Structures are given as structure tokens and as C-alpha cells.
Chain A
């Protein structure tokens, strides 16, 4: 028992659901144990509860989730919350999402700037604008809002204003809710837009996080039907 728990959660974390583990032990029939590798012992009971019967296997599923889903799944139960604290999961999820700048580039950034913490990197990435062209949009504010524990509606398009100084962007938007929240952000552009676009306070929109790569609001110029400057 100790081995599975410590592999998954590290030695310092107290294993949870001890009674359940014990109970699982009792479910074994001897012939199963004799023939199979001991490392599989914890999974040979017929318990239907996924958290109980997938120790070590839930991680295969988690490894294929987007950061968004990962954050949500962490609240399902204690055990999954401990499991999802695993930085490798966040690393995987983040690398999967931001393929545009390349896995290696992402890796270098994380190593140099964020002490190798992908969760921290995620939070900061969310405040960064992936920009393709003159007509750009902040794609990730839905996640920012989530991380900032603000209420969020899945199909909202947020609208705010920004001011551009070199590659720094100051933004402000009203976030609708029971009480209006003023969300101020200082963002950094990866590509600096053309000078003609420096026109002080200009409207911008947010699109849902999941649609960042595909949304019509975030198309590069060559894929747009047309665009109007200024």
C-alpha cells in the first residue's frame, strides 16, 4: 500500500482513504496475487468506484486533459486533488495547448523564468496575448477569470479597452456579474503590431479559452475575409 501511495503522491503526502485501501486488500483472491506482479496488487479488486480502482491509472486519463479540464477535475475528490498536483500533468497539458510557439521554446521559457513550475507559467501565459496580426484579441481571459475565481459564463464574449505602449498593453474591462468587476491587466505582446495601430484606447474582445486557436476573432490576416484598419 505504501508503495503505490508514495509513488503517486510523494513520501511527504499522507495517503488518504486508508480504510478503502485496506478494504481493497480484503477483496483479493489468492490466485490473482500469486500470478501477478505485486505492483498491480492495488488494482485487482472489483470496486466500481473509479478513484478507488484506478490508482495509478487515473493518471493516464489526467495526462490527456486540457489545463481547463484538469483544473475542474481537481475538485472531484481529495485523492484526485493530490494526484493533479503533480507538475508533470500541468506540464503536459500546457505543452499540448500552446503548440504554436513550439514545445522546446515553451520548455526553455518555463525553465528560465518560472523555476520550472508549469502551473505558474500557465497563469502568466494566460495573461499574454497570442497575436497574429493587426486584428488581435485576448484569447485567454476566460481562464484568467477562472483562475481569479471570478464567475464566468461559458459563452460570454468580453469586451474592454486597451492602450498600447511598445509591447506592453494596458487593458481594462468590466466583468459582468452580480456586482460589476473592473478587471485590469498588463499584458505583453509576443509580436509588436504595426505602428499605425497605436491609437490609444481601442476596443478588444475576448474569446473562450478553448477556441483560442480556432475562433474567427483570432484569425491571421491571410485567413480573414477582410479587415479594416484603425
Chain B
């Protein structure tokens, strides 16, 4: 019934997030305010339903990644709601971070960039858990890092800290 009283396009303030690959996500203010970066930005420029602010995002946040972040923000903007809601929310959080490696890193990055603290918590924890029992080589492989130690240094490390490479 609340729909009827509002304007056809929803009536609330909206904001459009535009990814580098051209996709546009229209979200309401409550969702956008979950992100510190957007909140700051919008408090300065403002946005309305008729003339929503379009915010371009950097190329590293693809539409797939942004989709995840928006999903998280929408769910958390709605809050726990009815009884059992918090539990459902926790479960939602757990399932959200069950992502493949690249996606997980991308979402971590996006969460940090958009300043969504609790999402960043979740994903960082997931990354930390993922590399928990890895050796140095495996961690390098995981992150696609090429060691920039010189050969001599590498030798010294390997002889002094063999446990790290097991």
C-alpha cells in the first residue's frame, strides 16, 4: 500500500552506480549509505529520484563484483527484520563469501574501496582463512605474486626458515 502513495519510479532517492564495463546498478539511499565512500560522496553532491546521481566506478570493480556488494548492502540495509532475521543474515553472510579466489579478492578490494566495513571484515577473514595453512610458495601462487627477493636472499630465507616453505 505504501507503493501507491509513492511516485511511480519508487519515489525514494536513488543513486546509479556505473561500472567500467557499462552496467548500471540503481540502488536506494539506504543501500548506498552502507558504503562509507558513497555516503561521503552523496552527502556532498546529493541525489534525487528524478535526476539520480551517476557514480562511475573504477575498472577493477566489475559488474559481477559490484553485484555481490550491492546484494550485501541491500540485505544489510534491510536489517535483521523479523525474528530469526539476524540468524538468516549471518547465514547470508557466510554463504556470500563462499566465492572462488579471484572473486573473493575482487570483492575484498571493492569492499575496501567502497568502505563497507563489515563486508571487508567478512572477506578479509575469508582470505586469511584460505591462506592459513599454506606455504610461502602456495601463498605466492594464490596471490599471483612473483617473489622480488634476490636469489641469494631467497636461498638464505629457505635455509633459515625451511618451515615456511613446507
> A77 and B128: CB pair below 8 A?
no
Interface string of B122-166 (1 = CB under 8 A from A): 001101100110111001100111111100000001001111101
**Chain A residues with CB under 8 A of B40:** 37
What size tier do the contact residues of chain A reach?
A: 35 or more
Task: Determine how close the nearest CB of chain B comes to the CB of A135; give it in whole angstroms.
Answer: 28
> A76 and B139: CB pair below 8 A?
yes
> A77 and B145: CB pair below 8 A?
yes
Interface residues of B in 59-114 (CB under 8 A from A): 59-60, 105, 108-109, 112-113
B56 within 8 Å of A (CB atoms): yes
**Chain B residues with CB under 8 A of A71:** 164
Give A71 to B147 CA distance when docked, in angstroms.
16
**Chain A residues with CB under 8 A of B160:** 149
Interface residues of A in 101-145 (CB under 8 A from B): 145
Most buried by A among B41, B146, B163, B166: B163
A61 in complex: contacting residue of B60, B113, B124, B164, CB < 8 Å: B124
Task: Determine how close the nearest CB of chain B comes to the CB of A209; give it in whole angstroms.
Answer: 11
**Chain A residues with CB under 8 A of B112:** 43, 54, 56-57, 60
Q: Which residue of B lies closest to A146 (CB)?
A: B163
Interface string of A1-40 (1 = CB under 8 A from B): 0000000000000001100000000000101100111001
Interface residues of B (CB under 8 A from A): 37, 40-41, 55-60, 105, 108-109, 112-113, 120, 124-125, 127-128, 131-132, 134-136, 139-140, 143-149, 157, 160-164, 166
